């Protein structure tokens, strides 16, 4: 299974993914030894060829992470990915993948701006926002209009993870 947590920068993807990884690696979980976490920022940091931040560069980068995640999943790993990756061509490519569970973090600009003011104050970054689209068919969408609302996200995700685990 691939658990892809996506949302705009500052939405809380990494934080939620770390909570999911802790839960999935708990000794009581059947997949505990097969869980792998892939964070977009961490992958960028260790990449030999640095991916750019333009929309087309981000699409190629996200496509590569998705391909690696699929390979790992096919080898029996449970892959937790946290990265932006909000591009319609990606959503089209994965339509029908039963092993992919897409979680979209829909955090308001006010929430994101407080966490990443250096990004949201940059006019070039604001232009890039236009190329990012919310997924139309996420398996789970978590909303936050205030930062405090993010605190309940993990409980919702944990419930979905148990349900998805029991499905397959």
- DSSP one-letter string for 117-164: HHHHT-HHHHHHGGG----TT-SEEEEESSGGGGGGHHHHHHHHHHHH
Residue 106 in domain: yes
Residue 139 in domain: yes
* Model confidence, pTM: 0.86
- Structural domain including 128 reads 2-157
* DSSP element (H, E) containing 107: strand 100-107
Q: How many domains does the chain have?
A: 1
Residue 98 in domain: yes
SS3 content of the chain, % helix, strand, coil (to 5): 55, 15, 30
Residue 163 in domain: no
- Is there a contact between 87 and 10 (Cβ–Cβ < 8 Å)? no
At 101, the pLDDT band (50, 70, 90 cuts) reads very high
Q: Would you state the pLDDT for residue 21?
A: 96
Q: Give me the chain's average pLDDT, please.
A: 84
Of the listed ranges 20-24, 131-135, 155-159, the least confidently predicted one is: 131-135
145-163 mean pLDDT: 80
At 76, the pLDDT band (50, 70, 90 cuts) reads very high
* CATH number for 28: 3.40.50.300
Residue 25 in domain: yes
Kindly tell me the burial class for residue 148, based on how many C-beta atoms sit within 10 Å of its own C-beta (0-12, 13-18, 19 or more): exposed
28-56 mean pLDDT: 86
Residue 12 in domain: yes
């Amino acid at each position: 299974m691939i658990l892809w947590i996506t949302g705009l920068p500052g939405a809380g993807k990494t934080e939620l993914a770390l909570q999911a990884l802790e839960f999935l690696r708990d000794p009581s979980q059947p997949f505990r030894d097969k869980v792998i976490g892939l964070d977009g920022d961490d992958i960028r940091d260790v990449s030999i060829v640095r991916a750019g931040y333009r929309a087309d560069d981000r699409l190629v980068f996200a496509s590569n992470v998705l391909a690696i995640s699929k390979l790992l999943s096919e080898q029996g790993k449970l892959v937790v990915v946290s990265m932006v990756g909000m591009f319609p061509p990606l959503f089209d490519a994965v339509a029908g993948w039963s092993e992919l569970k897409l979680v979209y973090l829909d955090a308001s600009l006010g929430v994101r701006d407080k966490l990443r003011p250096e990004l949201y104050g940059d006019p070039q970054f604001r232009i890039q926002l236009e190329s990012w689209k919310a997924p139309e068919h996420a398996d789970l969408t978590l909303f936050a209009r205030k930062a405090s609302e993010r605190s309940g996200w993990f409980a919702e995700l944990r419930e979905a993870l148990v349900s998805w685990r029991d499905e397959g």
